[in-house]
Structure 1
Amino acid sequence: MLEYEIHKLRQQELIDSAEEQRRVREAVRGRRAARHADARDAEHESHTRRLRRPRFARAA
């Protein structure tokens, strides 16, 4: 009987762990999608890919 109870506890721990990992993946996926949506919106606002400042300093 003790082995069965240990088995059931371990099974529940594995189920809980899998559910937590699934929630974490969904949260990461949501944040990544939001970042990409923000980048896409910002890309449409500015029509150039040019940086605001030159990449290299001018020669004297």
Structure 2
Amino acid sequence: MFEYELHQIRSADLIREAQNHRLVREALRLRRDARKAAAGEPQAEGQSTSHSNRPRRPRFARAA
């Protein structure tokens, strides 16, 4: 029974840690977006973080 309780405590601790990590990532993303908006940069909603409008090169060379 003692091991089960330790498992429950550890599980709850990991869940809290993951939630905190997600919260920090979201806060950093919001700060970055606010900084970009203040600088007048257009926001890319749903777009990749590509720096150009060129199509991506294939990742692997084509087979002969």
TM-score by length of 1: 0.66
Runs of 4+ in 1 over 3 A off after TM superposition: none
Higher relative contact order (CA 8 A, sep 6+): 2
Aligned position for 1:42: 36
The aligned residue for residue 2 of structure 2 is 8
Cα root mean square deviation, aligned: 1.7
The unaligned stretches of length 5 or more in structure 2 are 44-64
Identity %: 16
- Matched length: 43
**1:47 and 1:9 mapped to 2: Cα distance?**
54
**Unpaired runs of at least 5, structure 1:** 1-6, 50-60
TM-score (norm 2): 0.62
Report how far residue 44 of structure 1 moved.
0.3
Corresponding residue of 2:19: 25
